[in-house]
Structure 1
Amino acid sequence: MNAKRWIAIGIAAGLLAASVGFQTLFAVINSNFTEAIDSATGSTFMSEEIVEDGDMTNRIAVLKVDGTIQDTREESSLLGSATYNHTAFLEQLEQAGMDDTVGGVIIEVNSPGGGVVESAEIHDKVVEVQEEYGKPVYVSMGNTAASGGYYLAASANKIVAHPATLTGSIGVIMSTLNYAELADKIGIKEEVIKSAEHKDIMSGAREMTDEERDILQSIIDDMYADFVQVIVDGRGMPEDQVRELGDGRVYSGKQAMENGLVDDLGDLEDTIAMMKEEQGLENAEVFEYTGDGFGMGSFWATAAEGLFVSDSDLLGIKQLMSKSNSPEAMYLYTE
């Protein structure tokens, strides 16, 4: 082997070692540096954008729930995220609650709903802002605020919908594909080894038994009962009325108001005006959190991330890791 080949091999080995080293360094930074910096600074960095000038000591925070409500465990970035970021939203809501300069919170909802747990987490955080921090929370509904989008709004001090908003869709859904006949036609057979009878419940490779359907229906019924109770508590409506309205159908904003599911009709601007007048915040500054909330550690970890791994590679990896084949119960309005 001549000298040129040895040099080429050496360069290739060096590049490989550098690549592995950078990936390892990135992993360390992403897992440890975030925590270290956040601990050292003792604060969370939230960028803000002023919507309306006013009293900076008595402000209204406008937060957005835009898209399907699911915790995909995506990291925040400096430029924000094009999709709903559950962790960031909860951080923003917590920050608005703790901020002594914030006198009221408005959540702008444009969502068909999403995960049962995620919807409940937002609802619980809204109640915390109201009860622990003593701040009013209004909801402004956009094009769609259905199922989980309504669940999170149910406890708000006031719900305002556009006349054409699609809301309601009160209920729970869980689905899976049954490909047993198709697999049989093309000669595919799934071999399952399981510890108990129902371990492969909802398997698409076979028909569901009546017993399994009853098991899953009982779970859905429990989750639906929780949904109903949230509305009973939040809206002060009788349970039988909620169950009558909560048959899964959607309502226009106008219909929702006629049925007591929302309090008033209007858009975000109207909702801001209502909060100012009703909560003694006439001169309040109105602001939004821009992008995703993230700690200073996340700031530096994200910066390091950009040095070592391309955005397209990261996006592909995150999308693959966030996907799950497991069936999931959802508070979701779907076709």
Structure 2
Amino acid sequence: MSTKRWLAIVFAAGLFLISSAVTMFTTVFSTSWDELFQSENVFHENVISQGTGNGKIVVVHLNGVIESGYDTASIFQTAGYNHRNFLDQLDAAANDSNVRGIIVRVNTPGGGVVESSEIYDKIVEIQEEYRKDVYISMGSMAASGGYYIAAPAKKIFANPQTMTGSIGVIMQSINIAELADEFGVSVEVIKSGPYKDIMSSTREMTEDERMIMQEMIDESYEQFVDIIEEGRELSRAEVYNLADGRIFTGRQALEAGLIDGLGHLQDVYEILMEDLGYGDLTVVEYESSLGFASLFSLSVQKLFAREADIFNLSNWLQQNHGPRMMYLYTG
């Protein structure tokens, strides 16, 4: 083993020992040092605009594909969307008595049907139970699941060039049956029922199987139509006319009635501030803190770059081993 690799192992072990010692010390003495060595799921407030009024507006960022596969941190894991963390941020804003309104800044092509539904339910809960308005500020993309979670908000804004829409559901799989035949690869399957290996990548789908999957897709699609019909106060016929999977620019979405206005993030919080009527409010954004866990992870990733690539590929394969329904723009 090279000297560099030995030094890397010693360094990582040293960080681990220091982390363990700090954790034990803070547990025993209950000091406030936990803020210095906080975990990935802890976040703090960053002031965007300092106001003079009583209260604040919180901006919560949704960046990346909406999925829950990477909620458990790993030392080899790179930063990305964290579903649990995002829901926790919404909860924190809802429970903070100083928060007058919430803006969700959306930059996503969409994602999982279940995860999108959980965010949708959380936004509805905040507005109905906590009586706090939620506004949406769309960034470069807020498509499919990104629009799904925006639909219940009181107001939606986008940049004129935002890509949004893509209303619909998709499920994909790769069929390698012909390739396997060409190389003489056979797959033996023992199953408890005729549909247990539905959408298998090693054989063609039957018509019965296609009908079963289409029924599932149609059910999720109708749910998507429901939330737009309710949230945007459009007729069902109007929604069906828009919900064919096409994407819209922000300007086209405004003309179609899918959003309420055009503007950047600053425009949105100024509009929300005026609508709330509490005067000049402070605007803050929630940011994930770069605590000890993050620093440790970054150090290990740099030292073991090749191993990290292999781990992330393996983790991706585990999380994506089977097809699933997605509110996702794949263009």
What is the TM-score of this pair, normalised by structure 2?
A: 0.81
Kept in 2, the 8 Å contact 1:257–1:264? The answer is yes
Q: 1:5 — aligned with what?
A: none
Q: Which amino acid in structure 1 is aligned with residue 296 of structure 2?
A: G
Alignment counterpart, residue 328 of structure 1, candidates 315, 324, 329: 324
In the alignment, is residue 118 of structure 1 matched against residue 115 of structure 2? yes
1:54 and 2:54 aligned: no
Bigger Rg over Cα = 1
Q: Gapped runs of 5+ residues in structure 1?
A: 1-14, 294-298
Q: How many residues end up aligned between the 2 structures? A: 302
C-alpha distance in 2 between matches for 1:315 and 1:99: 40
Q: For residue 240 of structure 1, report the CA deviation from its aligned partner.
A: 1.7
Indicate yes or no: 2:141 matched with 1:144: yes
Aligned partner of 2:228 in structure 1 is 231
Structure 1 letter corresponding to 2:132: K
What corresponds to 1:278 in structure 2?
A: 275
Residue 38 of structure 2: aligned partner: none
Letter in 2 for 1:259: A
Answering whether residue 256 of structure 2 is matched by residue 256 of structure 1, we say no
Residue 210 (structure 1) aligned with residue 210 (structure 2):
no
Q: Which residue does 1:89 correspond to in 2?
A: 86
Tell me which moved more, 253-262 or 43-52. 43-52
1:37-64 CA-partner distances (Å, limit 9, x unpaired): 9x999x9953111000014741000011
For the 8 Å contact 2:53–2:278, the answer to whether it is kept is: no
User: C-alpha distance in 2, partners of 1:181/1:268?
Assistant: 50
1:191 aligned partner, one-letter code:
E
- Give me the whole-angstrom Cα distance separating, in 1, the residues matched to 2:93 and 2:278: 15
Contact 1:77/1:292, CA 8 A, preserved across alignment: no
Amino acid at match of 1:87: R
Q: CA deviation at 1:316?
A: 5.5
Distance across 2 between alignment mates of 1:160 and 1:316 = 40
- Computed over aligned residues only, the root mean square deviation of the Cα atoms, in angstroms, reads 3.3
Percent identity, please: 44
Report 1:149-228 matches (<5 A). Answer: 149-228=146-225
Distance (Å, rounded) in 1 between the aligned partners of 2:135 and 2:191: 49
SS, match of residue 61 in structure 2: strand
Q: 1:282 Cα shift?
A: 3.1
Assess if the C-alpha contact under 8 Å between 1:169 and 1:246 holds in 2: yes
Q: CA deviation at 1:180?
A: 0.9
- The DSSP-based 3-state class of the residue aligned with 2:189 is coil
Q: Which residue of the other structure, out of 274, 290, 296, is the alignment partner of 1:306?
A: 296
Out of 160-169 and 312-321, give the one that drifted further.
312-321
Q: Are 2:53 and 2:280, in contact at CA under 8 Å, matched by a contact in 1?
A: no
Separation in 2 of the partners of 1:333 and 1:264?
Answer: 22
Shift of 1:168: 0.5
Q: Could you tell me which of 45, 59, 66 is aligned with 2:63?
A: 66
